Structure 1
Amino acid sequence: MAEKETTPKVTKITTQKREGRYNVYLDDHYAFPISEDVMIKYRIFKGMEIDKKLQAEILAADDVSKAYSRALTYLSGHLRTEKEVEQKLRENEIPEPTIEATLKKLRELDLVDDLQYAASYVRTMARTSDKGPVVIKRNLRTKGVLENDIETGLREYSAEDQVENGIEIGEKLSHRYRREPVSKMKQKVRQGLMTKGFTGDVITQILDQMHFEIDPELEDEKLKSEFEKVWHRNRRYAFSQRKMRTKRTLYGKGFQSDAINQLLDQQENIE
């Protein structure tokens, strides 16, 4: 009659150099490494019997424990989205089932919370960046945050705050384009605010509250300078067509029709 196979017993547990890690020996042979929290969870002690099924369960739990430790290191000092944590664990070639179990544990302990992340991210961006809600929303999507959490998070950036920030950003843009005609300056400020992620309604409120100071002498100087260049460029055309083309070009650049006509009349008198 065949002798019944005995279940291996824990004969020795030794500490590793790494803090919180241990080596487990079964029947005086090294069997597997283990973390302190898994050892406590399974109450592993000298003399305990561990069959193959229990050993596989312990090893799976230890894989989660190691992945969890890596996730905690990654989360240390920073909020992260689930997608970011998942990508980090995948970079460490951690198996998918272990990643899923690790994320579940992180969720249960409120260590990853995309809704909380979205709200915090929106507050930070509103306070420290020149980005509007459209760009913020796009960034959160890239980070894997779901639409409902994004929309809830964006409530942290009120329309009033958007206008207040937008005015400050708009003033900087207007200074950059100060040598443009006022109408062109407004157009470029609008385009700049749109690129930064502000919506049309908010931009309109921003422009209404901005002060675009017009310096008549500077406006006149800019028009004369542009007029000379455009008039010279159109020199190959007959006079009437030259006038029409010059006016169309200058009007497209944002100069006032009356001021353009005045220069054209002067040019006609000269010629």
Structure 2
Amino acid sequence: MAEIEKITRQKEWYQLHLTSGEKLLVSEDQLVRYRLLKGQEVTPELLAEIKKSGAQEVGLQLAYHYLSYQLRSEKEVVKFLREKEVPNSTIKEIIWRLKELNLIDDRTFAESFVRTQANVGDKGPQVVAQKLKEKGVAPEVITEALLQYPLEQQISVAQHVAQRFLKRSSQDSFKVRQQKVKVHLAQKGFNQEVSQSALANLAPEKDDEQEAELLERLTAQAFHRYRNLPQDKRRQKVKETLYRKGFPYDELASLVDNFQEEE
């Protein structure tokens, strides 16, 4: 039969060192409840009971701490406890207790998550729904939670996302910027209806002077890139490059031909 060799303090926990070489992490409440003292004999039955109640108390405290920062889904809490090596049977008891205390509720979590994304995020409903799915939230709960993200707010967020993207893509032609921003909004989780409304509200207009300056600059860069090619091949590659960037062929062909004559 093992005895308690010593008891050491580890922050809010205590560790029992047994003569058998085993170490147990227990709470202060357990020390008092089981009257655990140095030199005390620990029967196999008492050891099993301490392990079971200890794992539950430790796991519950870990869960409290994890939930103190923000709301979590049930799946997230289960994953966290498993990573902390809490036994599966104990995790079930902990989850039941947390639900009883209303500390875990996937419906409340999902609604809060959607509201946060709608108010401070840059994701559309489709991406938000996918994230909730990954967090283990049931499909019907996700559908209801998305009601917290009304159409008007989706358009507003999409418009903000589009504005930021258009500023970053200033090195593209107007046509390419329009195409890219639509793809970007789709990747962010906004549907076609929302994207079209957002772009319509922005009403971006083509700046002919800016477009001409950009075309000249990109033409010079392309000629430099293909400088080692024969002249005819070089001119053709430059035209292909500029056309892929969304510039009208008539405009770019004229510029390339004139640029070539100046070489």
Partner of 2:143: 151
CA contact (8 A) 2:73 2:106 kept: yes
1:223 & 1:92 partners in 2: Cα distance?
Answer: 58
2:130 is aligned with 1:138: yes
Which whole-Å deviations, capped at 9, do the CAs of 1:165-221 have from their partners, x for residues lacking one? Answer: 111111111111123211111122223223333233322222222232333222111
1:137 & 1:155 partners in 2: Cα distance?
Answer: 11
Correspondence for 1:23 among 16, 33, 48:
33
CA contact (8 A) 1:23 1:30 kept: no
Paired letter, 2:172:
E
Q: Percent identity?
A: 33
CA contact (8 A) 2:114 2:146 kept: yes
CA contact (8 A) 2:74 2:105 kept: yes
Partner of 1:86: 78
Aligned residues: 232
Change over 3 Å in CA distance of 1:257–1:114 after alignment to 2: same
Change over 3 Å in CA distance of 1:96–1:267 after alignment to 2: closer
CA contact (8 A) 2:175 2:246 kept: yes
Give the number of the structure whose alpha-carbon radius of gyration is greater: 1
2:186 is aligned with 1:176: no
Partner of 1:167: 159
1:166 & 1:180 partners in 2: Cα distance?
Answer: 20
1:71 & 1:96 partners in 2: Cα distance?
Answer: 14
Q: CA deviation at 1:242?
A: 7.0
2:230 is aligned with 1:236: yes
CA contact (8 A) 2:132 2:142 kept: yes
Partner of 2:194: 202
1:87-106 matches, within 5 Å, as 87-106=79-98
Change over 3 Å in CA distance of 1:24–1:227 after alignment to 2: closer
2:41 & 2:88 partners in 1: Cα distance?
Answer: 24
1:192 & 1:23 partners in 2: Cα distance?
Answer: 60
1:251-270 matches, within 5 Å, as 251-263=243-255, 266=258
Aligned-partner SS, 2:33: strand
CA contact (8 A) 1:182 1:212 kept: no
Partner of 1:222: 214
Partner of 1:72: 64
Change over 3 Å in CA distance of 1:104–1:237 after alignment to 2: same
Aligned-partner SS, 1:201: helix
1:231 & 1:73 partners in 2: Cα distance?
Answer: 61
Show structure 2 runs of 5+ residues with no match.
Answer: 1-12, 15-26
2:132 & 2:82 partners in 1: Cα distance?
Answer: 20
Q: CA deviation at 1:20?
A: 4.1
2:190 & 2:41 partners in 1: Cα distance?
Answer: 60
RMSD of aligned residue pairs (Cα, Å):
3.6
Partner of 1:122: 114
